[in-house]
Structure 1
Amino acid sequence: MTTSDNLRPLHPPVHPPLHGDRPYDELVAEAVAAPTEGWDFSWFDGRATEERPSWGYARLMGERLAVVESALDLHTGGGEVLNLAPQLPPLMAATEGWPPNVEKATRLLGPRGVVVVASPDDAPLPFADAAFELVTARHPVKAHFAEIARVLRPGGTYFAQHVGPSSVFELVEYFLGPQPEQVRHGRDPETETQEARDAGLEIVDLRAERLRIEFHDIGAVVHFLRKVVWMVPGFTVDAYEPQLRALHEQIKRDGAFVAHSTRHLIEARKP
């Protein structure tokens, strides 16, 4: 499931949920022990599901990567999504800000000739002007459109899937309570497309969808909040034990905790 939201999609379960009736302490201990680096979400199989956007970002990204000579993937995580592309351009770079992910992405993508660059999410991109034909991103922490426009060649394209407003806020507000309107409406696709236009880019495509998520055991909730750390900042099991135990009982009673993610596809071109 994403930095990002920067959220990353949960894989559909390969079998019906099997863990909901297990003891709270056992489920939580298992989730706490699970590694959190990278953006492989197979740990959630049988524990949680999320609808996928209808457009199929990884496939569309792969099609675009196959027909350019140079590309940059922003906030690549552990490189898992980029590695799905059947063909990469001769010049392929990727950025990532979290050191464990930089290491994982380098191991995964290095054999395919990808240069993985450690770069803070909010810093200027460490590349020359007009360096790339294509810039991609799946659930970037934030799209810095002025920098994206700078590193794109004239005629180049930014192609990305972003996390939208109020994504998984049913879970966020379960732990943190009602959020301010400015927080709920952050990452608005119309605002982002205006930022892209202000940076000199032309919007080619914009699509948005709201997608159902189901958490089938408390371990899935704990692992999700440990992995997607910006959802409930400072989350620990000890700090939120009363809420977690109550949610465990709720999931046992209802079969799942339901939330909704929001995603938008954006394609922008540099004239």
Structure 2
Amino acid sequence: MSRTFEELVAEAGSVSVEGWDFSWLDGRATEERPSWGYQREMGRRLAAASAALDVQTGGGEVLAGAERLPPVMAATESWPPNVARATRLLHPRGVVVVADPDEPPLPFAAEAFDLVTSRHPAMVWWPEIARVLRPGGTYFAQHVGPASVWELVEYFLGPQPAARRKRHPDDETAAAKEAGLEVVDVRTERLRMEFFDVGAVVYFLRKVIWTVPGFTVEAHRDRLRDLHRRIETEGPFVAHSSRTLIEARKPGRP
């Protein structure tokens, strides 16, 4: 027996959205993964580093997946529940987790790290990344790309033509170069997503808060109810995420 609209949104509206663990969506939504395997490549670079920083670490889940960490390892995060979660997860591995508002300056000295990583940062402050990197150091990250999950964005907010350009890899490359970094690699992929019930959409929008800014169930109940009917009659709601892999190097001898 299928669950009612009210049951689905009530459940999804009450579950915890701390951290970057999306396992609650197992069986309720799917998303293709980028071909480059960010966590594996990040782990390889961390194993060879002497001092590294993971910016906007979330709940620390991605960093915790690295098999080997450098002798000096720090991470920043702004959301208090995630700071607490990352601290519990990463402190046993010797990682210093710093509460930081995700605005410049980064709370570290110049040339403190030979590697800076980040997975899906909300904002990228290129001059600060360049400042804390040592000469010869590397920034290695996976960013959310342009027009990500745009089908869902425009379903709730209507057409957003001016915003489609945000996070374009050409713009990010230019900003990195302006900050004095040499861009070594840039790749972008669009990846299929499917939401199998309206509760999965509610959970996703509560967790990935920049998708539909200010999202609440009450403010969007009519659209959610229409989406529930659409999924029941037409099948999964299909969207496409956008991901950019970027690697940049600070000039100079390491």
Bin of the TM-score, shorter chain as denominator length: over 0.9
Q: Where in structure 2 are there 5+ consecutive unaligned residues?
A: none
Please state how far the C-alpha of 1:123 moved relative to its aligned partner.
2.6
The answer for the alignment partner of 1:218 in structure 2 is: 198
The answer for the alignment partner of 2:99 in structure 1 is: 118
Given that 2:104 and 2:128 are in contact with CA atoms closer than 8 Å, whether structure 1 keeps it comes out as no
The answer for the alignment partner of 2:216 in structure 1 is: 236
The answer for the alignment partner of 1:23 in structure 2 is: 4
Answering whether residue 131 of structure 2 is matched by residue 150 of structure 1, we say yes
Please state how far the C-alpha of 1:228 moved relative to its aligned partner.
1.0
CA offsets 1:117-156 (integer angstroms, 9 cap, x no match): 0011123100000000000000011111100000000000
Q: State percent identity of aligned pairs.
A: 69
Matches of 1:143 and 1:68, distance apart in 2: 22
Answering whether residue 32 of structure 2 is matched by residue 51 of structure 1, we say yes
Matches of 1:92 and 1:63, distance apart in 2: 14
The answer for the alignment partner of 2:20 in structure 1 is: 39
Aligned equivalent of 1:84, options 65, 82, 86: 65
Please state how far the C-alpha of 1:234 moved relative to its aligned partner.
1.4
Q: Which runs of 4+ in 1 moved over 2 A?
A: none
Please state how far the C-alpha of 1:237 moved relative to its aligned partner.
0.9
Please state how far the C-alpha of 1:27 moved relative to its aligned partner.
0.8
Q: TM-score, normalised by structure 2?
A: 0.97
Matches of 2:132 and 2:158, distance apart in 1: 40
Aligned equivalent of 1:269, options 241, 249, 254: 249
Matches of 1:65 and 1:233, distance apart in 2: 34
The answer for the alignment partner of 2:145 in structure 1 is: 164
Matches of 1:254 and 1:80, distance apart in 2: 35
Q: TM-score, normalised by structure 1?
A: 0.91
Please state how far the C-alpha of 1:239 moved relative to its aligned partner.
0.9
The answer for the alignment partner of 2:118 in structure 1 is: 137
Answering whether residue 164 of structure 2 is matched by residue 184 of structure 1, we say yes
Q: SS where residue 69 of structure 2 aligns?
A: coil
Aligned equivalent of 2:236, options 250, 256, 270: 256
Q: SS where residue 142 of structure 2 aligns?
A: strand
State which drifts further: 229-238 or 141-150: 229-238
Aligned equivalent of 1:94, options 50, 60, 75: 75
Aligned equivalent of 1:68, options 44, 49, 53: 49
